[in-house]
C-alpha cells in the first residue's frame, strides 16, 4: 500500500512537471503530423512501397521508431533529478523517515515513473496503430509485441536515469545519460566494431551494446514489424542471441534497480 501510494504520488507529481508537459505537447504534434506521411495507398513518404500492407508495416515501423525515441528522451527528462534533487530539497527526508524500508521508497518512486512512461507509450502507440489500421488493415496482434518492446526501452531509460540520479544532480545526470545513449544508440557503429577481427574491438563493441541495450531491442522491435533494419548486413559477434535481447534488457533493469536499492540503502541523506 505504501509503495503504491508512492507510485501514485510520483505519477501525479510527474504529470505536472514541465518536462512531461513539454513532452506531451511534442507527442501531440507528432500524432498530428505523422499520419500525413501515411496517406492511403502508400503515398507520400511511403510512395513506391507496393501494396498497402507493406506500406502500413513500413509506416508503423517508422512511426513506432519515432515514438520509441521521443519516449526515451522524455523518460530521461522526467526522472533526471528524482533522487539527488529530492535529497537536496529535503523532500526525501520526510519519506525515508516514514515506517517503510528505503527499498520501498526507491521502488515506489521508480514504479511511478515506469508506469507513467509505459502508459504514455501505450496510449500514443495505440493511437499510431489506429491511424494505420483503419487505412491498411494492419493486424493488431503483430503490432503488440513491438509496442511492448518500445515500452521496455522507455522503462530502461527511466531506470538508467533514475539510477544515475542517486549519484549525480540533474545536469550531470542528463549529460551522462545522453552520452551513454548517444554511443550505444549508434548500433551500426557498434556492429562494425563488434564484427571486427580484433578481439579488442569485439569486446569494446559488445561492452557498449551491453551497457545500454535499447538500440538492440529497438532493432528487434523493427524486425517484429517485418522490416529489415539497416544494421543487419553486418552481423556482430554478439554475446546474446538477437531474438533474446529483450530478456537481457529485463535483467539489465533488475540489476540497475538492485544497484540503486543497495546504494541508496547505505547512503547518508544529509
Residues near another protein (CB under 8 A) are 1-2, 5-6, 9, 12-13, 16, 89-91, 93-101, 266, 268-270
- Tell me how far, at minimum, the Cβ of 100 lies from another protein, in Å: 7
- Tell me how far, at minimum, the Cβ of 13 lies from another protein, in Å: 5
Q: Helix, strand, coil shares of the chain as percentages rounded to 5?
A: 75, 0, 25
Question: Closest Cα partner for 216 from 258, 195, 247, 193?
Answer: 247
| Dihedral, 219, 220, 222, 227 alpha carbons, nearest 10 | 100
Between 25 and 91, CB nearer to another protein: 91
Per DSSP, 36 falls in state G
- Tell me how far, at minimum, the Cβ of 115 lies from another protein, in Å: 17
Between 89 and 228, CB nearer to another protein: 89
* 172 contacts: CB under 8 Å, gap ≥ 6: none
Exposed, middle or buried: residue 103 (CB in 10 Å: 0-12, 13-18, 19+)? middle
- Tell me how far, at minimum, the Cβ of 214 lies from another protein, in Å: 30
- Tell me how far, at minimum, the Cβ of 203 lies from another protein, in Å: 35
Between 14 and 191, CB nearer to another protein: 14
Between 21 and 29, CB nearer to another protein: 21
Between 10 and 131, CB nearer to another protein: 10
Task: Tell me if 252 sits within 8 A of 245, measured CB to CB.
Answer: no
- Tell me how far, at minimum, the Cβ of 244 lies from another protein, in Å: 39
In the chain, count of helices (H) and strands (E)?
12, 0
- Tell me how far, at minimum, the Cβ of 164 lies from another protein, in Å: 22
Task: Tell me if 253 sits within 8 A of 156, measured CB to CB.
Answer: yes
Question: Closest Cα partner for 119 from 82, 185, 71?
Answer: 71
- Tell me how far, at minimum, the Cβ of 9 lies from another protein, in Å: 6
Between 89 and 242, CB nearer to another protein: 89
Return d(Cα 228, Cα 78) in angstroms, integer. Answer: 32
Between 66 and 169, CB nearer to another protein: 169
Return d(Cα 114, Cα 108) in angstroms, integer. Answer: 10
Between 93 and 251, CB nearer to another protein: 93
Task: Tell me if 125 sits within 8 A of 152, measured CB to CB.
Answer: no
> Which residue do the cell numbers 515500452 mark?
151
Amino acid at each position: 500500500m505504501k509503495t503504491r501510494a508512492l507510485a501514485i504520488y510520483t505519477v501525479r507529481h510527474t504529470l505536472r512537471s514541465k518536462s512531461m508537459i513539454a513532452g506531451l505537447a511534442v507527442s501531440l504534434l507528432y500524432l498530428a503530423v505523422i499520419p500525413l506521411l501515411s496517406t492511403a495507398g502508400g503515398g507520400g513518404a511511403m510512395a513506391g512501397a507496393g501494396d498497402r500492407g507493406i506500406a502500413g508495416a513500413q509506416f508503423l515501423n517508422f512511426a513506432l521508431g519515432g515514438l520509441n525515441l521521443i519516449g526515451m528522451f522524455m523518460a530521461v527528462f522526467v526522472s533526471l533529478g528524482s533522487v539527488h534533487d529530492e535529497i537536496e530539497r529535503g523532500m526525501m527526508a520526510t519519506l525515508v523517515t516514514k515506517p517503510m524500508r528505503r527499498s520501498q521508497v526507491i521502488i515506489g518512486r521508480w514504479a511511478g515513473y515506469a508506469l507513467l512512461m509505459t502508459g504514455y507509450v501505450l496510449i500514443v502507440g495505440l493511437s499510431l496503430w489506429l491511424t494505420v489500421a483503419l487505412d491498411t488493415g494492419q493486424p493488431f496482434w503483430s503490432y503488440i509485441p513491438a509496442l511492448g518492446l518500445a515500452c521496455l526501452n522507455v522503462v530502461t531509460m527511466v531506470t538508467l536515469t533514475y539510477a544515475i540520479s542517486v549519484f549525480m544532480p540533474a545536469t550531470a545526470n542528463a549529460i551522462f545519460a545522453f552520452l551513454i545513449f548517444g554511443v550505444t544508440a549508434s548500433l551500426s557503429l557498434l556492429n562494425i566494431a563488434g564484427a571486427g577481427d580484433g578481439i579488442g574491438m569485439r569486446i569494446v563493441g559488445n561492452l557498449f551494446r551491453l551497457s545500454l541495450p535499447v538500440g538492440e531491442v529497438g532493432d528487434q522491435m523493427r524486425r517484429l514489424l517485418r522490416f529489415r533494419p539497416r544494421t543487419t548486413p553486418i552481423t556482430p559477434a554478439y554475446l546474446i542471441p538477437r531474438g533474446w535481447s529483450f530478456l537481457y534488457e529485463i535483467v539489465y533493469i533488475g540489476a540497475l534497480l538492485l544497484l540503486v536499492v543497495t546504494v541508496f540503502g547505505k547512503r547518508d541523506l544529509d
